[in-house]
Amino acid sequence: MIKMKFLACALAAAGATMLLPPSAVAANDSIAKNVILFISDGASWGTWDMASYYQYGELGMQSYDQFDVKLGMTTMPMNTSSRPTYNDTQMISYDPARAWDTTPVAGSYGGWQSYFAGYDYIKRDYTDSAAAGTALATGEKTFNNAIDYNNFGEALPYITQTAKAAGMSTGVVSSVPFSHATPATFGAQNINRNNYGAISYDMIYNQDLDLIMGGGNPLYDSNGNLRSSPNYTYVSSTAWNVLNSSDSPRTLITSKEDFEALAAGTLQVDGPLIGVPEVYDTLQYSRNAGVMGADASTPSGVATIDSVPTLVDMTMGAINYLSQGDNGFFMMVEGGAVDWAAHATNTARIIEEQIDFNLSVDAAVNWVNTYSNWDETLIIVLTDHGNAMPMGPDSDTIAFQPIQNNGQGVLPGVKWHYATHTNENTLFFAHGAGADLFYDHVVGVDDGLRDILAFNDGRYIDNTAPFQVMQAVMAPVPEPEAYAMMLAGLGLVGAFARRRRQG
């Protein structure tokens, strides 16, 4: 509740009138009752297209393709240091003219041939997922490695705390370990993203976080098989032992059946919840072809692990759990292994991961259409940064050639130009309650978004804007009557003060 404190009073003709005290200032509901943030981690422009071509044989068929708000979003960090540099100087920028420069160039950068000046430019000065996640979760730029810490080494408040303070239920869902950089920025504060053990412990005890779902199960390997001994890389032994004790601060679920029951609405859980599927790191990306065997129905031709839930199951389970409250919910859902596949320049696996992400967005959109509405729910779909620059097969001679469509169910034509993050202007989608507020945060026009990608009219925002808008739509809106009374009261105070001065 927004609290307003008034210390002045004024005299009216009929007698003394006191301004409303804080508790008397009425408020409507917030602009958005529910806020769902989807992050396809490491999705360059071509990543979205690859999955759509494989799914549908054409573009424009995804749920988010129908969203009202489409903008670019820059992702640069404050600097590329891995530790605080103790200043507030923004060292990294984005220049659209340089990013789309089609001038042929010789040489290479980062071990990859350059081809065009624009390619070289966006390969440099990129963010990591920690700094990008921090910008999304706190609205603050920082150094690479920081989990909700600023460049002075100070912890930052983050959007999950804002949501909880507003009375909302809160949750974080990921297809990679829940202590990994992106989910961590929505549930922890740590100066180093690699402190997985400390982050996992902090998250399970975080009272601002009702639900956690993600990988990192120490008892299983990447193929969903039990290990001979636990691997506590992503979840510390202390945290895991606590979760499996009678003193656990959360109910722990691990089986596919429990995730599916939660998604179906047949499993009810009271109190804080954590779901850690029976797999080590990623839901499916890290599975081994030699272990799993063949399955021609998947893009990679590799059979999937049948003992873990899908990201769709986790998304719907989270929505069912979080929507039980009366005050709405905030949830972040990450397709985290999209980034892992991009680092490996693995076309088939990135399509698998992006499709699972797409289907999760579909499920949330269907939930809004069935059980909520767009006047009370905001869905945001974005990536935290580009990765690996997938483009068309002749993009070494045709600058920024788009992905080649080879038809539904067929791997598209792709040429990769890098194997790590980029400083490209990324794609952003939003729809529902308060989505139009993103237009208030436009920082420029990028002709490449319009003329080369044919994505939108070129307008773009910075990655600090999502926090600003999410914070705004979660805040209570004062009643018009309260505003009128407040303004009238202030007018009386001003008149009384003027008369005192004149006297």
Written as tens digits, the pLDDT of the chain (503 aa) is 333 332 233 323 333 322 233 333 333 578 999 999 999 999 999 999 999 999 999 999 999 999 999 999 999 999 999 999 999 999 999 999 999 999 999 999 999 999 999 999 999 999 999 999 999 999 999 999 999 999 999 999 999 999 999 999 999 999 999 999 999 999 999 999 999 999 999 999 999 999 999 999 999 999 999 999 999 999 999 999 999 999 999 999 999 999 999 999 999 999 999 999 999 999 999 999 999 999 999 999 999 999 999 999 999 999 999 999 999 999 999 999 999 999 999 999 999 999 999 999 999 999 999 999 999 999 999 999 999 999 999 999 999 999 999 999 999 999 999 999 999 999 999 999 999 999 999 999 999 999 999 999 999 999 999 999 999 999 987 765 554 454 454 454 444 344 433 44
pTM: 0.91
Please list, in sequence order, all residues whose beta carbon lies within 8 angstroms of the beta carbon of residue 398, skipping any fewer than 6 positions away. Answer: 392
Under DSSP, the state recorded for 458 is S
- Is residue 67 one of the residues assigned to a domain? yes
Which among 40, 129, 175, 286 is annotated as catalytic? 129
Task: Please name the helix (run of DSSP H) or strand (run of DSSP E) that holds residue 261, with its range, or none.
Answer: helix 256-264
CA–CA separation, 282 vs 335, rounded Å? Answer: 10
- Is residue 1 one of the residues assigned to a domain? no
Sign for the CA dihedral angle at 494, 499, 502, 503 comes to negative
Please list, in sequence order, all residues whose beta carbon lies within 8 angstroms of the beta carbon of residue 249, skipping any fewer than 6 positions away. Answer: 204, 205, 242, 272
- Is residue 84 one of the residues assigned to a domain? yes
How many secondary structure helices (H) and strands (E) does the chain include?
16, 17
- Is residue 494 one of the residues assigned to a domain? no
| Six-digit token string for 335 | 């397709």
**N-terminal to C-terminal alpha carbon distance within the chain:** 39
**Cβ-count burial of 73 within 10 angstroms (0-12 exposed, 13-18 middle, 19+ buried)?**
buried
What's the total number of domains in the chain? 1
Side-chain-side CA neighbours of 218 within 13 Å: the count stands at 19
Domain range for 262 is 27-478
319-323 — which CB contacts under 8 Å span 24+ positions?
319/36, 319/363, 319/364, 319/367, 320/262, 320/263, 320/265, 321/169, 321/171, 321/210, 321/211, 321/262, 321/269, 321/273, 322/169, 322/170, 322/171, 322/210, 322/211, 323/34, 323/169, 323/371, 323/372
Q: Count the residues in the chain.
A: 503
- Is residue 276 one of the residues assigned to a domain? yes
- Is residue 198 one of the residues assigned to a domain? yes
| Six-digit token string for 5 | 């404190």
Catalytic (active site) residue 245: no
Tokens 């974080």 locate to: 172
Please list, in sequence order, all residues whose beta carbon lies within 8 angstroms of the beta carbon of residue 119, skipping any fewer than 6 positions away. Answer: 389, 399, 417
Binding residues for Zn(2+), as ranges, are 339, 343, 384-385
User: 211-215 and 15-18: which strand pairing?
Assistant: unpaired
| Six-digit token string for 328 | 């709405």
Q: Calculate the alpha carbon distances from 234 to 27, 226, 230, 237, 480 in Å.
A: 43, 16, 11, 9, 49
Residue 477, pLDDT score: 78
| Six-digit token string for 125 | 């000065």
CA–CA separation, 298 vs 26, rounded Å? Answer: 55
Are the beta carbons of 443 and 462 closer than 8 angstroms? yes
Q: Calculate the alpha carbon distances from 230 to 153, 219, 221, 226, 460 in Å.
A: 33, 5, 9, 9, 45
Please list, in sequence order, all residues whose beta carbon lies within 8 angstroms of the beta carbon of residue 73, skipping any fewer than 6 positions away. Answer: 382, 425, 426, 427, 428, 460, 461, 462, 463, 465
Binding residues for Mg(2+), as ranges, are 180, 182, 334
Of 61, 59, 69, 53, nearest to 428 by C-alpha is: 69
CA–CA separation, 339 vs 345, rounded Å? Answer: 10
CA–CA separation, 35 vs 328, rounded Å? Answer: 8
- Is residue 368 one of the residues assigned to a domain? yes
Q: Calculate the alpha carbon distances from 206 to 77, 157, 210, 237, 491 in Å.
A: 26, 13, 8, 18, 45
Binding residues, as ranges, are 180, 182, 334, 339, 343, 384-385
Side-chain-side CA neighbours of 118 within 13 Å: the count stands at 19
Of 152, 154, 156, 155, nearest to 86 by C-alpha is: 152
For residue 195, the domain's CATH number is: 3.40.720.10
List phi, psi (to 5°) of 9: -135, 165
- Is residue 69 one of the residues assigned to a domain? yes
